[in-house]
Amino acid sequence: MGEQMMSNRVTVSAVLLGTCLFAAGLVQAKDKRVWSPLETDGIHDPDAPGLELLQWPDEALRAMLPDHPGIGNQVDWLRATSAGQLRPVDALYEVTRVRQRDKDIVMGRTGEMAMVRFPHGSHSREMDCDNCHDQFFVAKAGANHANMFSILAGENCGRCHGAVAFPLTECRRCHTDERGGGTVPGVQAGQGRQYDPVVTR
């Protein structure tokens, strides 16, 4: 009886520990991501003589924190960067001024959808302001008129999302702030990631 209780307790704490590790993203469920070989990925020339010198996606990407299978190259680049799995250089030249901005902008012209929270923080850790200002966006809250038609046509956010950043079918990654939840459109403190990251699959 005592032994039974003891082993129950051991099982329970093992389960608890497992759950905590899971929640912390340290233990991954079986990784189901599959990457096409370079010669059939539709990007590389299958006849290129240098192909065999390149690192294989499976080898390069498997170790990185996952995004959903089927989303881009299935790596959560922002989370992989904050976890130190890759350390992009900020600039090639010392004279380059590295700029960072952390304010979010809540964009409210979303009809019945939840409002869009544009995070300057995540974007300016990945790229300089010049990538967006002022060619794609005027640096003034509310001054840009985006809608899903223009975005799907590759304008505004659609310059990158659906091309090199997560696809436009991920509505909830942009449309995060429910109307009536107390958030008002405009410049706000940066809140960090607003959707659940993929920890297991």
- CA nearest 157: which of 119, 187, 186? 119
**DSSP classification of residue 162:** T
- From the list 13-21, 37-45, 81-89, 105-113, the region that binds ligand HEC by CB under 6 A is 105-113
Q: Which of 75, 174, 177, 183 binds ligand HEC (CB under 6 A)?
A: 174
Q: Which is nearer to ligand HEC, 10 or 171 (CB)?
A: 171
Q: Which of 131, 190, 191, 199 binds ligand HEC (CB under 6 A)?
A: 131
CB-based contact 127:119 (threshold 8 Å): no
- What phi and psi, each to the nearest 5 degrees, are found at residue 157? -60, -30
CB atoms within 10 A of CB 177: 23
- What phi and psi, each to the nearest 5 degrees, are found at residue 29? -65, 170
Is 122 a binding residue for ligand HEC by CB under 6 A? The answer is: yes
Residues at the site binding ligand HEC, with contacts judged by CB under 6 A: 77-78, 99-101, 103, 105, 107-111, 113, 116, 118-120, 122-124, 126-127, 129, 131-133, 136-137, 139-144, 146-149, 151, 156-157, 159-161, 165-166, 168-171, 173-175, 187, 193
